[in-house]
Amino acid sequence: MSANSPIVRFVSLLCTLTVGPLAHADNDAQTPADTLTPPSNPAKVVIEGKRFSDTDERRYSTAAKMVFGREELDRQGDTSVAEVLKRLPGVTISGTPGRGGDIRMRGLGKGYTMILLNGETVPRGFSLDSLSPEQVERIEIMRAPVAEHSARAIAGTINIVLREAYAKKSNEARVNLGWEDGLFQPGVSLQRNDSIGPVNYNLTANAFHKNLPSESVMRTAATDITSAAPTLLQTQRDESRAISDGIHLTGRFNWRLDGGDNLTLQPFLMQSRGSSNGITTLDQSLGATPAPYAFAHWHSDADSLMARAIVNLKLRLDDGARLELRANGGQWTSNSSTTRDQYDAMDQLVHTSWNEADIRDTTFSTSGKYSRNWQRNHQIATGWEIEAGHRQETTQTLQDGTNPLAAFGDNIGANTRRYALYVQDEWDVTPLWALYGGLRGEAIRTSSDAATNSATNTSTVLSPLFHGVWRFTQESKDQVRLGLTRSYRSPTLSDLTALPALSSNYPAAGTNTPTNADSVGNPNLKPELAWGLDLAYEHYLGAGGILSASLFRRSIDNLIRNVTSLQTVSWSPEQRWVSAPANLGSATSQGIELEAKFRLTEWFDGTPPVDFRVNFSRFWSKVDGVPGPNNRLDQQPTHTGNVGADYRLPGLPLTLGGNLNWTPAFSVRQTESQAYYQGLKRILDVYALWKITPDAQLRLSAANCLHADYQTATQELFANTDQTAATIRTTYPTFVARLELKF
């Protein structure tokens, strides 16, 4: 192999990056080439490329896409990407404020929103709560699917793009000091952009320490429907503290090859370790005698490691065609254990439980995309994807020294295979009218093996996809979008695996209730299928502003929902309450989403230059086969919204801003006998940014300033009993001081 071959040069450059200053020190020595005299007046060719602004990329995309770059990611000084997402149009975060949760679009529950990392499906075990905004280049939100991404996106797609390649040589450092409930949460982030010869690179490192408290109160009450007499009254109080440490390393190495070809390597490493300690007290004034327990102590440990790498090769072919080849491989490992000891009112140990789970999840995928321009106004692309995953899980459960799940074995193996083919055409019909047409076929096969049973599930979906945009005139700031798409939601691995997971406190019969049931999968689940219609009007303002209104509707078949029932089971001599997923029929969801982003001076002369960001979403849904009222899709609120503003003080290098996020209280009837309630959620975040020098600034932020309690409740009607479990969780304000440096 020639010493000047591209492969040799690439390996040499990687070695230079690894060796660092020593390599540069050797290169400082004079060589014969250093003595050559450069030609006088050499010809200079400068090629400049610039990506569209976030607003322009949204404006000129044929399919509806919103883009949020560094300005939005840095604004509030957030410590996780999930905190950034909760302020974006149509996006909500489930769960307790400040403690993360499922990422949702249009109010639809877990699994309806497709989450991508650099265009690839995020691996199991990955959470955006653990990803720092410093590692992200931009967030792309697509309200309807396109063919080159998976159609598993009934609500929409969120693509997290990690830091991109070198734009200019720079080094950045961010030092965080957070404070919550009297405890400090330090963190540091480092970033380097540089190039060596034809290779430019970006390296990012982020380390953090968290010490987070949790406190909740759950009140459970049951009433005999016939006599209206109460049969159960109990209050459970939980207090715990979780301590965790983590480090995230990301990189991007971009190699410019001959002929305009390009090779990119993107490694990604996340490691975290933590432990939790807690105490639970149970006060029971009415119910079984004696009470299941009086108080309990528990302790848990968890370690996880995720390593991933993406290799992307872009080739320029004859006649302007382009070929993109991608390979992605990674592994996620997790080890967790929990010990719980329960005591009676006389401080006597009455029950013990211990659970341990070791998980190893390995995935590999490869894909290709061939694209070319055709007849000047068509951009044709076709591609394929193959993904393979293997999960090996070893679980052990002991209740009072015995394993109630011994018959099921300790080892579970599961395999997934996904295949996809697609073709798409972006057609500029006229300078004012553009169309997008795509067709994607996708097949998923899941199989699991355990000691007592094996399960296999296969599903195939064909998704036609259509998008169009019409601009009024070439100078117009107004345009209309239309989308008609076919999407789906596939069952998760845990939905399909027919192995039970026990409710907490298994030995105490009184704690296995309809509101605290065992769970089991259903290997016969079918994917949910949905037709979608999207219509939007957009008006673009100056300085990146926009006014938009969009309507959507989704018609869903094979709706998946968990159903709780009292069953005779193999893992207990007594009947148990068990929750299992099932296909219930069909449902519809529709809504309107409004968004405004503007500077006040654009509307009123002489006003302060305040930048406003406002979005509001209203949702309706109906599940057939479930009686009303409130027979909506699971955990979908009626509406949600954000109001934010930024103001740079005249004559001072100081910017002040904030955002109010709210979701109203709502109730959802899940089945004929099950209901869910969530209380009002209001989250106020504020910040102050002081620009000390062009290369140094101090950002002070306060998140969840209102720190209102988070309330949820579940209700079950069974036999002649009405049982409700209402939980109130304490939330905490978080304060962060961040010093940001460039050098």
Burial of 31 per CB tally in 10 Å (0-12, 13-18, 19+): exposed
Q: Given this model, what pLDDT does residue 562 score?
A: 85
Q: What is the pLDDT of residues 605-646, one digit of tens each?
A: 888 889 999 999 999 999 998 888 999 998 899 999 999 999
Number of domains in the chain: 1
Q: Given this model, what pLDDT does residue 75 score?
A: 87
Q: What is d(CA 461, CA 490) in angstroms, rounded to the nearest whole number?
A: 10
Minimal CA–CA distance to 580: which of 594, 567, 593? 567
Given phi > 0 = left and psi -120 to 50 = alpha, else beta, which region is 47?
beta
For residue 242, the tally of other CB atoms under 10 A from its CB is 17
Minimal CA–CA distance to 63: which of 547, 438, 402? 438
Q: What is d(CA 704, CA 548) in angstroms, rounded to the nearest whole number?
A: 28
Q: What is the mean pLDDT of the chain?
A: 86
Residues 273-284 have a mean pLDDT of 96
Q: Tell me whether residue 13 is in a domain.
A: no
Residue-wise DSSP of 372-438 = EEETTTEEEEEEEEEEEEEEEEEEEEEETTB-TTGGG-SEEEEEEEEEEEEEEEEEEEETTEEEEEE
Q: Is the pLDDT of residue 495 over 60?
A: yes
Beta-bridged to residue 241, according to DSSP, are 213, 277
Q: Are strands 349-374 and 322-343 parallel, antiparallel or unpaired?
A: antiparallel
Q: What is d(CA 531, CA 151) in angstroms, rounded to the nearest whole number?
A: 11
Q: Given this model, what pLDDT does residue 575 score?
A: 86
Q: What is the CATH number of the domain that holds 313?
A: 2.40.170.20
- Side-chain half-sphere CA neighbours of 681 within 13 A: 25
Q: Tell me whether residue 576 is in a domain.
A: yes
| Gyration radius of the chain over CA positions | 28
Q: What is the pLDDT of residues 639-689, one digit of tens each?
A: 999 999 999 999 899 999 999 999 999 999 988 888 999 999 999 999 999
Q: What is d(CA 96, CA 185) in angstroms, rounded to the nearest whole number?
A: 19
Q: What is d(CA 233, CA 215) in angstroms, rounded to the nearest whole number?
A: 20
Q: What is the pLDDT of residues 115-167, one digit of tens each?
A: 998 888 887 767 777 788 888 889 999 999 999 998 999 999 999 998 876 56
> Who contacts 20 (Cβ-Cβ below 8 Å, separation ≥6)?
none
- Lowest mean pLDDT across 19-23, 352-356, 496-500: 19-23
Q: What is d(CA 720, CA 37) in angstroms, rounded to the nearest whole number?
A: 97
Q: How much is the pTM?
A: 0.85
Q: Tell me whether residue 192 is in a domain.
A: yes
Q: What is d(CA 384, CA 614) in angstroms, rounded to the nearest whole number?
A: 39
Q: Tell me whether residue 117 is in a domain.
A: yes
For residue 142, the tally of other CB atoms under 10 A from its CB is 22
Q: Is the pLDDT of residue 293 over 80?
A: yes
Q: Tell me whether residue 262 is in a domain.
A: yes
Q: What is d(CA 396, CA 717) in angstroms, rounded to the nearest whole number?
A: 33
Minimal CA–CA distance to 642: which of 684, 600, 678? 684
Q: Tell me whether residue 40 is in a domain.
A: no
Task: Give the distance from CA 286 to its chain's centroid.
Answer: 42
Query: Is residue 481 within 8 Å of residue 505, measured between CB atoms?
Result: no
Q: How far is CA 532 from CA 38, 209, 388, 591, in A?
A: 63, 43, 29, 12
Instruction: Give residue 68's domain range.
Output: 54-701+715-720+728-742
Q: Is the pLDDT of residue 362 over 80?
A: yes
Q: Tell me whether residue 28 is in a domain.
A: no
Q: Tell me whether residue 710 is in a domain.
A: no
Q: Given this model, what pLDDT does residue 646 score?
A: 95
Query: Is residue 440 within 8 Å of residue 421, measured between CB atoms?
Result: yes
